[in-house]
């Protein structure tokens, strides 16, 4: 039977299908798109996003050395456990890469995500985290060695010849690991524990992503752009509750599927166009979710009640399919969506030749975005302790965001900022993180209404203090600072720029603010908020004779003529009594402030102690003890 069309030509074959739906558009680039793409690639090169050939060669050399080390390590363990000489000869471990390095989008100074796959008789708890750890600790090339055995995905972090390495371990059900092991095959998951499954899935997901995109090079360039944009805009951090590398890779890969013939400049604008309209919590998926006889749990809100509470599901494409963005909260999703709106508005201007690519990648001015902040100071006795203590605390900072959301019924919104800061004037090891605070848009506060977050922060501190490897000197302080009181060390030049002088990048912030506000309020409300901001800025600009850079105390300040404070002591942790830290009854004492100064409308300020107002709602702050 002749299947020719009436005009005699053969029928066109259906376009290849990528993903679970048909493409939105099969259109290719116009001349203007090609020109914008050339300008984009030039911008990426000028921004230093590509590593040199020398650095690439050094990475390959380091990976080769790590491969040699783990092979020797496994052979030693095989011999110690009485296996035959032939088994010792054949024994080995294999190194795989994943993350940005495997996807081909890493930049200068980026770490290398690596996975060590070993035989069934080499375990993680003792062999990896103790024996291999000790081997690495004795090597001169290895610095900043930090084991994190209790993480969701256990990892050993270190630098090898100056290159950052994140090393995972998975033990598979084979006595001998072949050099050509195919970890994309489901059979590799037979008889392995869940931690090994999560470790193996990093590599399996990376391989699947590269198989499921129509054009790998276009995907890589677009992903490199989005990772750079996310870091500049302060939304690149899985641990803080935003999105990490694999999340951004999956989001970009889905856009590549929806626009299979688009070039990177087109993919970038389509990215923002699609995700500003995405109706979360509808999941982003590159392929259908499949179940297997192995029985590992997969993401399915119909069966798993816990999955129903995920706010921004981004599903991994390799079995067992999981939500890679379970850390995202209501507050961080709000921030991400605001930044998507901002990016979409700028891309529209770029397509109209009203803006350049550098406008899209302007750094987010976090410390000018809010009137109130929480400052989280992490301190320890020495630098090595700080590395471990900071890792533990940072991984749980998102819990503070969740607790504040919970205890204020979502009325108080938190914006955790993923960057860490160091005050070089302090002689002891420390670092600081910050959270922006604001009242939920559209919620009117009643006079005298308060957010009492003393108990919230106290609960958070108690959970932090349960660190298994806690040592004397490790402590955490949480304090409230107003925008005008922010310490100088958070600013790039070591001092605050005058707000009267508009920085070029503030044009970006103004555009983003206009886009966000146009979707959330009337013109009348915007004018009122502008007047409120000006009034607060004027009030905060009054001179203060109090030192706010120190780690301060806890205050509960009520609206009225007198201020009564409850002081929470947090510096009483010692090696003999962790229980005392958890005894709340012994940690409170009441004191009365005799010389409280009123700064209008019932806001009290004492030396080092200030009340926190968010658009006329008083928030009680909870912080640590006076200077250590």
Annotated binding site for ATP: 98-100, 111-113, 166, 227, 236, 245-246
574 is catalytic: no
* 426 noted as active-site residue: no
Is 577 tagged catalytic? no
What is the DSSP annotation of 440-505?
PTTPPPPTT-EEE-HHHHHHHHHHHTT-TT--TT-EEEEEEEEGGG--GGGSTTSSPPPTTSPPTT
- Measured CA to CA, the distance from residue 288 to residue 212 in angstroms comes to 12
Catalytic residue among 33, 113, 127, 307: 113
Binding residues: 98-100, 111-113, 166, 227, 236, 245-246
Give DSSP secondary structure letters for 567-591: EE------TT-SHHHH-GGGSEEEE
| Catalytic residue, candidates 227, 231, 390, 440 | 227
* Residue 372, helix vs strand vs coil: strand
- 18, 83, 169, 236: the active-site residue: 236
Cite the DSSP H helix spans in 126-192: 133-137
**Rounded to an integer, what distance in angstroms lies between the CA atom of residue 374 and that of residue 436?**
7
Rounded-to-integer distance, Cα 205 and Cα 226, Å: 19
Strands 372-379 and 475-482: antiparallel
Whether 111 is a known active-site residue: answer yes
Of residues 100, 196, 432, 611, which has the active-site annotation? Answer: 100
85 is catalytic: no
Q: Of 111, 407, 423, 537, which is the active-site residue?
A: 111
Provide CB contacts within 8 A for 81, sequence distance 6+. 121
Q: What are the C-alpha distances in Å from 470 to residues 268, 363, 574?
A: 45, 36, 10
- Residue ranges of the binding site for Mg(2+): 111, 113, 166
Q: In the chain, how long is the greatest CA-to-CA distance? A: 100
CA–CA gap between residue 356 and residue 36 (Å, rounded): 9
Instruction: Please state, in angstroms and rounded to a whole number, the distance separating the CA atoms of residues 129 and 193.
Output: 16
586 part of the active site: no
Report the alpha-carbon distance of residue 303 to residue 508 in Å, rounded: 44
Q: Enumerate the active-site residues.
A: 100, 111, 113, 166, 227, 236
């Amino acid at each position: 039977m002749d299947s020719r069309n009436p005009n005699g030509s053969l029928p066109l074959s259906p376009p290849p299908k990528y993903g679970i739906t048909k493409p939105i558009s099969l259109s290719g680039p116009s001349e203007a798109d090609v020109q914008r793409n050339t300008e984009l690639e030039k911008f990426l090169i000028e921004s230093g996003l590509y590593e040199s050939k020398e650095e690439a060669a050094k990475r390959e050399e380091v990976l080769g050395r790590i491969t040699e080390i783990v092979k020797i390590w496994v052979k030693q363990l095989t011999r110690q456990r009485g296996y035959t000489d032939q088994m010792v000869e054949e024994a080995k471990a294999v190194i795989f890469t994943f993350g940005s390095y495997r996807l081909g989008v890493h930049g200068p100074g980026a770490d290398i995500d690596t996975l060590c796959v070993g035989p069934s008789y080499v375990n993680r708890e003792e062999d990896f985290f103790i024996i291999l750890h000790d081997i690495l600790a004795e090597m001169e090339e290895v610095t900043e060695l930090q084991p994190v055995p209790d993480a969701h995905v256990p990892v050993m972090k270190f630098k090898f010849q100056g290159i950052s390495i994140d090393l995972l371990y998975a033990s598979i059900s084979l006595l001998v690991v072949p050099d050509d092991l195919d970890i994309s095959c489901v059979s590799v998951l037979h008889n392995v524990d869940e931690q090994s499954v999560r470790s193996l899935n990093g590599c399996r997901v990376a391989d699947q992503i590269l198989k499921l995109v129509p054009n790998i090079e276009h995907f890589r360039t677009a992903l490199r752009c989005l990772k750079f944009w996310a870091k500049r805009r302060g939304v690149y951090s899985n641990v803080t509750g935003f999105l990490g590398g694999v999340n951004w890779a999956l989001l970009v890969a889905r856009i590549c599927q929806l626009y299979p013939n688009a070039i990177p400049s087109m993919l970038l604008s389509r990215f923002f166009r699609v995700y500003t309209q995405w109706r979360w919590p509808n999941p982003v998926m590159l392929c259908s979710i499949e179940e297997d006889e192995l029985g590992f749990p997969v993401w399915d809100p119909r069966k798993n009640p816990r999955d129903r509470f995920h706010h921004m599901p981004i599903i991994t494409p390799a079995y067992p399919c999981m939500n890679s963005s379970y850390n995202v909260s209501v507050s961080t999703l709000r921030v991400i969506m605001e930044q998507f709106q901002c990016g979409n508005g700028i891309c529209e201007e770029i397509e109209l030749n009203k803006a350049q690519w550098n406008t899209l990648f302007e750094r987010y001015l976090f410390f000018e975005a809010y009137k109130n902040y929480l400052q989280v100071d992490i301190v320890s006795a020495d630098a090595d302790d700080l590395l471990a203590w900071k890792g533990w605390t940072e991984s749980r900072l998102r819990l503070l965001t969740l607790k504040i959301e919970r205890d204020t019924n979502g009325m108080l919104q938190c914006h955790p900022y993923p960057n860490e800061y160091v005050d070089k004037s302090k002689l002891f090891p420390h670092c600081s993180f910050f959270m922006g605070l604001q009242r939920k848009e559209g919620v009117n506060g009643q006079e005298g209404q308060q957010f009492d977050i003393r108990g919230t922060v106290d609960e958070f501190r108690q959970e932090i203090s349960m660190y298994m490897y806690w040592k004397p000197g490790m402590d955490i302080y949480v304090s409230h600072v107003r925008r005008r009181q922010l310490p100088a060390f958070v600013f790039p030049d070591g001092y605050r720029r005058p707000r009267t002088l508009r920085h070029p990048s503030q044009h970006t912030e103004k555009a983003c603010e206009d886009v966000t506000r146009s979707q959330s309020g009337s013109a009348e409300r915007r004018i009122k908020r502008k007047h409120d901001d000006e009034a607060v800025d004027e009030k905060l600009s009054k001179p203060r004779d109090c030192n706010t850079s120190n780690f301060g105390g806890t205050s509960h300040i009520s609206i009225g003529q007198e201020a009564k404070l409850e002081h929470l002591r947090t510096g009483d942790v010692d090696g003999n009594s962790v229980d005392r830290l958890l005894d709340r009854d012994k940690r409170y004492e009441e004191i009365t402030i005799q010389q409280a100064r009123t700064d209008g409308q019932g806001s009290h300020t004492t030396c080092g102690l200030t009340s926190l107002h968010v658009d006329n709602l008083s928030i009680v702050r909870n912080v640590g003890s006076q200077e250590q």
